[in-house]
Amino acid sequence: MGWVSAVTSVAAARQASATGKFNQAVANRNAAIKEQEVEAIQSKKEYDLAKFDERFKQFQGESITNILTSNVELSGSGLRILRYNAEQAELEKDMISYNAEIQKSRAFEEANFARIQGQVARQQAKQAEYGYYAQAGQSLLKAYG
């Protein structure tokens, strides 16, 4: 009868090991997805900056046209307006970059956390596995010792 208990414990140990490996694989997959998200955020940032530059050039061109068609020389107030627009554009581009970097950092942290969760799941499974092997040994000792 002790051997049945030992066999059952060995099977449970193997199942615990398989479950731990599976959970770790899932966590690693989740981490890889988060890392891909980082790449997507970077690509979106580059796209957003390029689109912003395009819109800003158009806006700045319209501003120059408006200044010149108002019979004002492109000096003094007109130049101050253009410089202010350029300064604001740089601030907006900095904000786009900053927000993207925050999102990337968050995704990296989520990837790291997923990997840590996988390692913890694997360690917990190993502990359970060793416990089941110990039960199997005790069962055999009781039955035949």
- What are the Cα distances from residue 133, in Å, to 10, 19, 40? 6, 16, 46
| Amino acid 72: pLDDT | 74
CA 20 to chain centre: 23
| Amino acid 10: pLDDT | 84
Residue 136: strand, helix, or coil: helix
Task: Tell me the C-alpha distance between 42 and 39, whole Å.
Answer: 5
Task: Tell me the C-alpha distance between 92 and 61, whole Å.
Answer: 18
**pLDDT tens column, 46-95:** 999 999 999 999 999 999 998 888 877 778 888 998 999 999 999 999 99
Please, what is the average pLDDT of the chain? Answer: 91
**pLDDT tens column, 90-145:** 999 999 999 999 999 999 999 999 999 999 999 999 898 888 888 888 888 887 76
Task: Tell me the C-alpha distance between 121 and 19, whole Å.
Answer: 9
| Residue ranges per structural domain of the chain | 2-144
